Structure 1
């Protein structure tokens, strides 16, 4: 079994695709993203190819080193059309289809058929958002039997949000892996967890907010458990957004939105979030001050650490007389993902 160094769980949205495109080549080469289509409620099957293309064309263009493409929120009536639309990117590009034990029989069959045709393998995404349920193992066994030994399979154990209120997440991950690893000769196995906090205005009222990287501790706990598979277990997370952000349907194009936002930064042991403004007379001053709060952290790695740090430094040191360079929600998420993904790759063994 071999595995990718880092698997970020990313939405097929401009800020995530833009961040991935801007990563330094050596960092990008160490990453295999699990890309996720957003919910597409009410989109008719006959128009799905066009809609999917809007999201996946940019992803395919930056996926030189591969990854996975998933549609976890697809409606039952969309299953066949989604499979057909995504198969093009799996067959002609470097992306791999994804299924899981909780998916419908039709979705599983479509993903397996795509994997057979594209010859790149199949991602098996197993969600464990609470305690491990042994019935999931039996469902995965059945799924693998349907795929057959000729289809290479990658295990994507998705623990969902892994925060400090889940102190047993490591034990549950071990229970899941102990049950799942013997079921196949997995080409790779990755432990996924999301730890960046869901940001609210109240959370940021009194200044920077900090939370520990619980999912990072969980991965290290599992790696230190002494299992034979532990040294090869890949690491994955949800970047700088909480797992629930993937389930947000595309918003109608309109002006407005909340008057505040956030800058995000990843340190060895914590996530730091600082409030910004999207509008108002104090926007420039507040946003530059927010960037300075990050660049003045003892853990700030310096402007040369990556493009995310470079952007934060430029924002912090820009003139108050000019609003250029203070960004907006898309730029803040892009800068956050740039620094986060670069730091994770540099922190992992072999990074």
Structure 2
């Protein structure tokens, strides 16, 4: 079994593609993202090709080493048009199609046919948002029988949100893996989960808050079991956003939003969030102060650790007389993902 070191589950949005494209080349080469098309509510099938291109063109451009492209929020009436639009990025680009149990038969067969044509393989995404449902085993077995042994398959076991209120997530992942691993000669297998907290104003009343990297603990728990597949199991997370962020409607033209956001930093065991302001007379001072709090952490890895840390250092040391370099929500997300993905790869065996 082979595969990349790290599989981040990312939205096909500008902040994520921008961050991925700015990673150091050796780090980017170790990553194969699972890209997710956002919901396109009510989009007519005849307009989907243009809508898909808006989001997936940038994804394809930064995916020189490959990855997967999924449309998990596609409406039933959109499935055929989505499959056709995405197939071009698999046949002429380096992305791989995705399907899994719980999808419609039409979506499954479209993904399988695309995988056969592009000859780069098929991602089988199995979601386990709670307890493992043993019926998924037979669903996956049936999908694999329709796929055929000539198509390489990658198992993407997606545990969804893995917060401290799911202490048995590792056990459920083991139940799923024990059931699924014998079904195929998987080219690769990855355990995915997201523990980044959804920040609220109440959580940030003191200016900062902290969340546990429970998905990182889950992966280590599974790796420590001694299962034959455990040393080969790849790690994946949702970057520096909660899993629910993938399903946010792009809502073109929407303005406004809360007057605050966050800067993010990843340590060995925690996600650290520091409050920023999106508007108001104190915006520059508060935001540079938030960046300084990060750069003064004992865990801060230094401006030379990557572009994420470099941006944070520049922001922290900038003058209060100008907002240049302070950024906004998109830049803060990009910097957060940059430092996070760089750190995860460097933390993994072989990184």
Specify the alignment match of 2:223 in structure 1.
Answer: 223
How far is the alpha carbon of 1:211 from its aligned partner?
1.4
Specify the alignment match of 1:72 in structure 2.
Answer: 72
Specify the alignment match of 1:340 in structure 2.
Answer: 340
Q: What does 1:269-308 align with in structure 2 at a 5 Å threshold? A: 269-308=269-308
Given that 1:3 and 1:233 are in contact with CA atoms closer than 8 Å, whether structure 2 keeps it comes out as no
Unpaired runs of 5+ in structure 2?
Answer: none
Specify the alignment match of 1:317 in structure 2.
Answer: 317
How far is the alpha carbon of 1:202 from its aligned partner?
1.2
Specify the alignment match of 1:57 in structure 2.
Answer: 57
Residues of 2 paired with 1:244 and 1:36: CA distance? 12
Residues of 1 paired with 2:2 and 2:17: CA distance? 26
Q: Describe the SS at the equivalent of 2:193.
A: strand
Specify the alignment match of 1:84 in structure 2.
Answer: 84
Q: Describe the SS at the equivalent of 2:8.
A: strand
Residues of 2 paired with 1:24 and 1:200: CA distance? 32
Give CA-to-partner distance per residue, 1:98-143, whole Å, 9 cap, x none. 0010100110000000000000000000000111110011110111
Q: Describe the SS at the equivalent of 1:146.
A: helix
Given that 1:98 and 1:122 are in contact with CA atoms closer than 8 Å, whether structure 2 keeps it comes out as yes
Q: Describe the SS at the equivalent of 1:6.
A: coil
Give the structure-2-normalised TM-score: 0.99
Residues of 2 paired with 1:103 and 1:6: CA distance? 25
Give CA-to-partner distance per residue, 1:82-111, whole Å, 9 cap, x none. 000000000000000000101001100000
Q: What does 1:77-116 align with in structure 2 at a 5 Å threshold? A: 77-116=77-116
Residues of 2 paired with 1:258 and 1:210: CA distance? 20
Q: What does 1:39-58 align with in structure 2 at a 5 Å threshold? A: 39-58=39-58
Q: Aligned residues, how many?
A: 351
Specify the alignment match of 1:264 in structure 2.
Answer: 264
Residues of 2 paired with 1:130 and 1:241: CA distance? 20
- Structure 1 residue ranges, 4+ long, deviating more than 4 angstroms after superposition: none
Residues of 2 paired with 1:201 and 1:289: CA distance? 18
How far is the alpha carbon of 1:262 from its aligned partner?
0.4
How far is the alpha carbon of 1:63 from its aligned partner?
0.6
Residues of 1 paired with 2:109 and 2:252: CA distance? 33
How far is the alpha carbon of 1:252 from its aligned partner?
2.5
Give the structure-1-normalised TM-score: 0.99
Residues of 1 paired with 2:259 and 2:207: CA distance? 16
Residues of 1 paired with 2:190 and 2:252: CA distance? 35
Given that 1:239 and 1:337 are in contact with CA atoms closer than 8 Å, whether structure 2 keeps it comes out as yes
Given that 1:11 and 1:246 are in contact with CA atoms closer than 8 Å, whether structure 2 keeps it comes out as yes
Unpaired runs of 5+ in structure 1?
Answer: none
Specify the alignment match of 1:244 in structure 2.
Answer: 244
Specify the alignment match of 2:10 in structure 1.
Answer: 10
Residues of 2 paired with 1:269 and 1:27: CA distance? 21
Residues of 2 paired with 1:150 and 1:26: CA distance? 31
